[in-house]
Amino acid sequence: MGAGMAGRVLTAGFPLAVYNRNPEKTAPFAKAGAFVARTPRDAAARADIIISMLADDNASRAVWLDKDTGALAAAAPGTWLVESSTASVQWIHELAVAAKHRQCELLDAPVTGSKPQAAAGELLFLVGGSAEALAAVRPVLVVMSRDVLHLGPLGSGATLKLVNNFLCGVQAASLAEAMALLNASGLDKEKSIAVLTAGAPGSPLLKILTTRAAANDFTPNFALRLMAKDLTYAREEGARRGIAMNTATPAITDFEKAIAAGYGDKDFSAVIPALQKP
């Protein structure tokens, strides 16, 4: 995701500094003229806008706040910070407090879409934070996106992204269970899937997941372990707000079973074969 986003920024002519924990992934950007930083701090020291796209709260915390290499310590006062990772709402607010101490302002701006959309500049940014901050960073977000949606105060983007992925994850888990039942029943799989995808259950996501399963193609666009993480964050946010996310727990169980079976780094559609009986 980050590579596709950075590629769009560079192609649009913005001066760009990049950092990745795996230096090999930065090689194409070096060839294209970007500055390749050795640490997040080195990248941040050169930037007016800092954008992160990371796996989870722990990775985000390390990149922003590590005492030796963290980006925030090098951010000049007035720098705009954009957290595009799918993170917990609690972490977003914690990071915002740290940013304020540096006289910087944070936007939470996670995205919908996956690797193909990132590369094509067709992401949808879900933004929480001030209108002033968004106006400052919008020219950069626009080159990576089909739209930039301002949802409200800080944390709004993270909240909607968790709701979005909660719905996707629960649907994927229910499809995996349904496919297991179809297989166990002996029904014709192709005919059964045709009925499901053409009928009321046939959402765009269900069609994508069944197509990938039929092709046995689980090349990751969105890693299964990350969906388990997002479902967990959504459940935690629900609990914080007094909402019982009852369908999240069995979905998390299904994804954890798939991770234990070795599917964690495959696309989250791999929850389907993970739940099939041998």
> Annotated catalytic sites, by residue?
161
Q: Taking a C-beta distance cutoff of 8 angstroms, is the pair 112, 123 a contact?
A: yes
**Residue 175 CA: distances (Å) to CA of 150, 182, 190, 201:** 32, 10, 14, 10
Q: Which two tokens stand for residue 107?
A: 């936007």
Cβ 63 vs Cβ 52: under 8 Å? yes
| Cα–Cα distance measured from residue 266 to residue 220, given in angstroms and rounded to the nearest whole number | 5
Long-range contacts made by residues 203-206, C-beta under 8 angstroms, separation at least 24? 203/171, 205/168, 205/171, 205/172, 206/171, 206/175
Alpha carbon distance 193, 73 (integer Å):
53
Amino acid at 181: L
**Contacts of residue 164, Cβ cutoff 8 Å, sequence gap at least 6:** 112, 126
- Residue 46, SS3 per DSSP: coil
Q: For 203, how many CA atoms within 13 A lie in the half-sphere containing its CB?
A: 11
Q: Is 191 left (phi over 0), alpha (psi -120 to 50) or beta?
A: alpha
For the chain, how big is the Rg over CA atoms in Å? 20
* Beta carbons within 10 angstroms of residue 25's beta carbon: 14
Q: What is the distance between the alpha carbons of residues 160 and 154, in angstroms, rounded to a whole number?
A: 12
